[in-house]
Structure 1
Amino acid sequence: MSDRLKGKRAFVTAAAAGIGRACAIAFARERATVFATDVDEKGLASLAQEGIADVARLDVRDTAAVNAAASRVGNVDILLNAAGFVHNGTILGCSDEDWDFSFDLNAKSMHRTIRAFLPGMLAAGRGAIVNIASAAGVVKAAPNRYVYAATKAAVAALTRSVAADFVGKGIRCNCICPGTIETPSMLERAAAAGPGGREMFVSRQPMGRLGTADEIAALALYLASDESAFTTGVAHVIDGGWTL
């Protein structure tokens, strides 16, 4: 199937690398007009060759900047929220500053973007919102992921709340709950764990391998498209069997 998003406009956060980048490229390949954003301008610049219509620096922790981006871009049919940070440690190593930063980037950023773009979706009578959550926190606890898991549980709750409030107005809101996905940030965490770090991450996946950003993007594409028109408020687990 091709042209699954033809004629649609999509706004993507954290599009410079990892899951956000894979989603932006997947949307563009299916003929969406994609507006890709990130704080990493160098990473964004490389998206031009992937058919991305527009790239712009955006700090999703800045409410005024998010509102300005929404005003510049105008109405969109699809909003993909991928910005996030994986904080390592237990409650004993989580300062108030760590808590505030993680919630601001992982959860409140989605509050900002949805609030900015939802009025246009409501005016058009349609819209698909896809939030990147995690299997950790939403389905299962993971060691040393205290505040990260809390933020991702909040994303799942936020998703259901938006879905429930606007289910009769053409708006769908779903979230994706990945397991361990091989992305640049994940590989950095593996390297920080020392020799054998990557193998440690692989060992906890029942399938014996890490997931790929493209696999997450394939699910995001489905949720963004009209193929999932009867699906809303769902936390979709894609974790290689980790939560079985």
Structure 2
Amino acid sequence: MIDLYTWPTPNGHKVHIFLEETGLPYNVVPVNIGEGDQFKPDFLKISPNNKMPAIVDRDGPGGRPFALAESGAILMYLGDKTGRFFPTETRARYTCIQWLMTQMGHVGPMLGQVHHFRNYAVEKIPYAIDRYVNEAKRLYHVLDRRLGETPYLGGDDYTIADMATFPWIRPWEKQGQRIDDHPNLKRWMEEIEARPAVQRGLKVLAERRREGPISDRQREMMFGKTQYEKR
């Protein structure tokens, strides 16, 4: 059994999708980032960087519980544990890792900045908005070019690289992008979104996520001084 500490965000959805694709049993433990659950001492023991998702595999290596944070690391671990969606052949494996790292190092951080400055920041700073919207557009081009060469980011097969990237592309309108400008990316996104396991994964804790403006308390918890306190 996997204890999954999560919230319905793009990073959380990565792991939701993997678990639904494989049928690996899991128990959802909500981490409400707008209420500060990520700063609680018990959670910090599992995720030292106070970020979700995180897991505790009750049947970890050696039959002992194993805690792991960072969504990319979790996907690689679960891929190895189940033998699914993470290639073992050297070339295919490292191609998959390359695109997983592209998501972790570029797609997630840069699109996260787009969301922040366009949708959450109290002060709308044109320079910041333009910078990150344009960087998002560049990354969309990179992904679109890759997906014009291969069906999936890692090659011929659907892998954890696709699971990691898809949730970040899904809210393309909020990132100031036009998906029709990227036909290969659009084809890929629609194909993945149609998968029943993906649809189930996107529903995990969906009822807990509220659309619309965030409260002052939520803004403080996620972006204010509370985030930067020494723990």
Which bin holds the TM-score, normalised by the shorter protein? Answer: 0.3 to 0.5
Q: TM-score, normalised by structure 1?
A: 0.34
**Which fold has the larger relative contact order, with Cα–Cα distance below 8 Å and residues 6 or more apart in sequence?**
2
Bigger proportion of residues as strand:
1
